[in-house]
């Protein structure tokens, strides 16, 4: 089984184009933050969404938005402009969920005051564990 689940932020606005047969395809790049052994790193993925999913991505996503992507992954080898061999992780999206809250979209920040609109603040003593 080949299935990849990612949560990350778009590094640029999505690009929508059409195949010669008229099928829409949307591409965007996703930056996924990782923390391993106290070290922070970022992994980059090129995401492709087809047809209605791609059109929705182009319509509602912009650079910086947080998304969840589920799909299949492949590796593409290529040669960079300086002649060095490189590899790119490419994901064909089967599902894309938009995670940036509406309040952050309208205000331009992740939080609107101490608690984002539409979310409830929970005190640590109220947690069941």
| Beta-sheet pairing, 66-79 with 4-10 | antiparallel
**pLDDT at position 118, please?**
46
Task: Identify the pLDDT of residue 129.
Answer: 46
The pLDDT value recorded for residue 127 is 53
| DSSP annotation of 125 | G
Q: Give how far the C-alpha of residue 34 lies from the chain's centroid of Cα atoms, to the nearest Å.
A: 14
Structure tokens at 81: 């402009």
- Which letter does DSSP use for residue 52 in this model? H
Q: Which domains does the chain possess?
A: 4-98 (2.40.50.140), 101-129 (no CATH)
- pLDDT of 101 reads 84
The pLDDT value given to residue 112: 41
Q: What is the mean pLDDT of each run of 10 residues along the chain (129 residues)?
A: 95 97 96 90 94 96 96 92 90 95 61 44 53
Check residue 35 and give its pLDDT. Answer: 87
- What distance in Å separates the CA atoms of residue 39 and residue 19, rounded to the nearest whole number? 41
């Amino acid at each position: 089984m080949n299935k990849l689940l990612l949560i990350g932020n778009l590094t640029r606005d999505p690009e929508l184009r059409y195949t010669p047969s008229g099928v829409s395809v949307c591409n965007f790049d996703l930056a996924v933050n990782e923390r391993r052994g106290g070290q922070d790193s970022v992994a980059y993925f090129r995401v492709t969404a087809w047809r209605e999913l791609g059109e929705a991505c182009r319509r509602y996503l912009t650079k910086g938005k947080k998304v969840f992507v589920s799909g299949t992954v492949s590796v593409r080898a290529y040669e960079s402009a300086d002649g060095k061999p490189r590899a790119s992780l490419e994901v064909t999206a089967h599902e894309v969920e938009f995670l940036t809250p509406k309040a952050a979209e309208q205000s331009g920040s992740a939080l609107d005051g101490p608690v984002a609109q539409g979310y409830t603040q929970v005190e640590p003593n109220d947690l069941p564990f």
